[in-house]
């Protein structure tokens, strides 16, 4: 088994580097061109052209069934697109599964939390990329529990997530705590792109604040983010740009400073459509 080397980013020096170095090559981290997904006769996503710059936080909003989650599932390799191109970090990519997307540097918090109930917090955060000793033992290499526990505490401290006892199994935690673990895991590793699909949908006020704090920490560290959310206040608090989906198409691309919640709602409901999208709007 080839031991993969992941650097645990939070709490390390490398992580504290200055924001977004956009010098050199392109500053676009993710681009989709004509991304389309049909489920049989249902056109869930139609010719989505989307761009995300390095260090940029973008919200994807839209009604239920507008194609937001479908869009994310194509990017993260959970599903295979019908047609179109995905260019990630300067390269055309074709992920056959979520694992490949993750290895390429796309971390996703899915609506269904991918946590193992019977393991504790550090185990979950490091699942699949454990810190180990004696790597020559292959699958029987020894877990570095101490290192993982310390890194978890550092990471949770940095992201302001409070979990009283990280050595308890996830099974005994509240929905909010589970969500925090899930997000802390995503935020803990050096990823090139983080995607969160309704991270606060099931959370209380206090827990939502924590999640938002994590997102702000990502912004400070210059890590790009795609946030799917129904919460207008949250969207305006957190992101630079808002992309509106309606009926499987992008119908608006709005800078936060140039718009307001009422305006965004108008786009969501179809009362307004971005100029550049008028030709294709339904």
* CB of 137 vs another protein, minimal distance in Å: 7
- Kindly tell me which of 179 and 221 has the beta carbon lying closer to another protein: 179
* CB of 27 vs another protein, minimal distance in Å: 28
State the Cα–Cα distance between residues 176 and 162, nearest whole angstrom.
10
State the Cα–Cα distance between residues 158 and 29, nearest whole angstrom.
25
State the Cα–Cα distance between residues 146 and 120, nearest whole angstrom.
13
CA 231 to chain centre: 16
- Kindly tell me which of 115 and 184 has the beta carbon lying closer to another protein: 115
- Kindly tell me which of 42 and 114 has the beta carbon lying closer to another protein: 114
- Kindly tell me which of 163 and 225 has the beta carbon lying closer to another protein: 163
Joined together, the tokens standing for residue 71 give 């869009």
Other CB atoms closer than 10 Å to residue 191's CB: what's the count? 20
- Kindly tell me which of 48 and 211 has the beta carbon lying closer to another protein: 211
Joined together, the tokens standing for residue 44 give 């869930």
Footprint on this chain of another protein (rule: CB under 8 A): 4, 98-99, 102-103, 110, 113-119, 123, 127-130, 132, 137, 139-143, 145, 153, 162-166, 168, 171-172, 174-177, 203-207, 210
State the Cα–Cα distance between residues 64 and 7, nearest whole angstrom.
37
* CB of 8 vs another protein, minimal distance in Å: 15
* CB of 212 vs another protein, minimal distance in Å: 14
Q: Are strands 28-39 and 83-88 parallel, antiparallel or unpaired?
A: antiparallel
* CB of 141 vs another protein, minimal distance in Å: 5
């Amino acid at each position: 088994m080839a031991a993969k080397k992941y650097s645990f980013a939070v709490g390390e020096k490398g992580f504290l580097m200055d924001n977004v170095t956009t010098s050199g090559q392109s500053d676009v981290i993710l681009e989709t061109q004509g991304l389309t997904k049909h489920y049989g006769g249902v056109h869930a996503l139609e010719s989505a052209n989307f761009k995300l710059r390095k260090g940029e936080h973008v919200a994807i909003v839209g009604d239920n069934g507008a194609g937001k989650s479908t869009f994310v599932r194509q990017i993260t390799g959970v599903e295979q697109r019908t047609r179109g191109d995905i260019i990630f970090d300067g390269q055309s990519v074709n992920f056959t599964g979520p694992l490949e997307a993750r290895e390429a540097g796309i971390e996703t918090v899915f609506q269904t939390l991918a946590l193992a109930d019977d393991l504790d917090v550090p185990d979950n955060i490091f699942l699949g990329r454990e810190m180990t000793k004696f790597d020559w033992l292959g699958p029987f290499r020894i877990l570095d529990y101490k290192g993982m526990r310390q890194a978890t505490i550092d990471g949770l401290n940095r992201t302001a997530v409070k979990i009283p006892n990280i050595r308890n199994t996830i099974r005994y935690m509240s929905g909010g705590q589970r969500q925090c673990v899930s997000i802390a895991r995503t935020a803990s590793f050096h990823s090139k792109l983080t995607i969160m699909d309704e991270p606060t949908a099931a959370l209380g006020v206090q827990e939502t604040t924590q999640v938002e704090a994590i997102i702000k920490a990502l912004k400070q560290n210059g890590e790009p983010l795609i946030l799917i959310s129904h919460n207008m206040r949250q969207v305006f608090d957190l992101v630079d740009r808002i992309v509106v989906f309606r009926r499987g198409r992008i119908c608006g691309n709005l800078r936060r400073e140039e718009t307001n919640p009422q305006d965004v709602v108008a786009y969501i409901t179809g009362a307004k459509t971005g100029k550049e999208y008028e030709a294709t709007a339904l």
